[in-house]
Amino acid sequence: MRAMPPAHPFDDDKLKEECGVFGVAGVADAANFVALGLHALQHRGQEAGGIVVHDPEQGFNSARRFGYVRDNFTSHKVMETLPGPIGIGHVRYSTAGNKGNTAIRDVQPFFGEFSMGGAAIAHNGNITNADQLRRELIERGSIFQSSSDSECIIHLMARSLQRNIPERMKDALRRVEGAFSVVAMTRTKLIGVRDPLGVRPLVLGKIGDGWALSSETCALDIIGAEFIRDIEPGEMVVISAERGVESFKPFEPKKSRFCIFEHVYFSRPDSILEGRSVYETRRQIGVELAREAPVDADLVCPVPDSGTPAAIGFSQESGIPYAMGIIRNQYMGRTFIEPTEQIRNMGVRLKLNVNRALIRGKRVILVDDSVVRGTTSRKIKDMILDAGAAEVHFRIASPPTAWPCFYGVDTPEREKLLAANMSEDEMRDHLGVDSLRFISLDGLYRAAGVAEGRDPASPRYCDACFSGEYPVEPADMIEKGFQLKPAAE
Q: Is-above-0.75 flag for pTM?
A: yes
pLDDT of residue 427: 97
- Asked if the model's pLDDT at residue 408 lies above 90, the reply is no
- Asked if the model's pLDDT at residue 1 lies above 80, the reply is no
Q: Architecture of domain 11-256 in CATH?
A: 4-Layer Sandwich (3.60)
- Asked if the model's pLDDT at residue 390 lies above 50, the reply is yes
Query: Which range, of 53-62, 313-322, 375-384, averages the lowest pLDDT?
Result: 375-384
- Asked if the model's pLDDT at residue 6 lies above 90, the reply is no
Could you give phi then psi for residue 401, rounded to 5 degrees?
A: -85, 100
19 flagged as catalytic: yes
Bridge partners for 150 per DSSP: none
The Cα-based distances of 44 to 153, 224, 290, 305, 482 in angstroms read 21, 20, 29, 15, 27
pLDDT of residue 93: 83
Q: How far is it, in rounded angstroms, from Cα 141 to Cα 155?
A: 10
User: pLDDT tens for residues 469-482?
Assistant: 999 999 999 999 99
pLDDT of residue 332: 56
List the domain boundaries for the chain. 11-256, 281-454
- CATH numeric code, 281-454: 3.40.50.2020
Could you give phi then psi for residue 226, rounded to 5 degrees?
A: -85, 130
Nearest to 225 by CA among 90, 51, 82, 24: 24
pLDDT of residue 5: 35
Query: Which range, of 94-108, 330-344, 356-370, averages the lowest pLDDT?
Result: 330-344
In the predicted model, what is the mean pLDDT of residues 223-247?
A: 97
From 19, 218, 259, 465, the catalytic residue? 19
- Asked if the model's pLDDT at residue 236 lies above 60, the reply is yes
Q: How far is it, in rounded angstroms, from Cα 105 to Cα 146?
A: 6
User: pLDDT tens for residues 179-220?
Assistant: 999 999 999 999 999 999 999 999 999 999 999 999 999 999
User: pLDDT tens for residues 125-151?
Assistant: 999 999 999 999 999 999 999 999 999
Please, which pLDDT band fits residue 253 given cuts at 50, 70 and 90? very high
- Asked if the model's pLDDT at residue 97 lies above 60, the reply is no
Please, which pLDDT band fits residue 441 given cuts at 50, 70 and 90? very high
281-454 shares the fold of 11-256: no
pLDDT of residue 342: 53
Q: What is the 3-state secondary structure (H, E, C) of the chain?
A: CCCCCCCCCCHHHCCEECEEEEEEECCCCHHHHHHHHHHHCHHHCCCEEEEEEEECCCEEEEEEEECCHHHHCCCHHHHCCCCCCEEEEEEECCCCCCHHHCCHHHCCCEEEEECCEEEEEEEEEEECCHHHHHHHHHHCCCCCCCCCCCHHHHHHHHHCCCCCHHHHHHHHHHCCCEEEEEEEECCCCEEEEECCCCCCCCEEEEECCEEEEECCHHHHHHCCCEEEEECCCCCEEEEECCCEEEEECCCCCCCCCEECHHHHHHCCCCCEECCEEHHHHHHHHHHHHHHHCCCCCCEEEECCCCCHHHHHHHHHHHCCCECCCEEECCCCCCCCCCCCHHHHCCHHHHCEEECHHHHCCCEEEEEECCCCCCHHHHHHHHHHHHCCCCEEEEEECCCCCCCCCCCCEECCCHHHCHHHHCCHHHHHHHHCCCEEEECCHHHHHHHCCCCCCCCCCCCCEECHHHHCCCCCCCHHHHHCCCCCCCCCC
Neighbours of 305 (CB within 10 A): 12
In the chain, what percentage of residues exceed pLDDT 90? Answer: 84
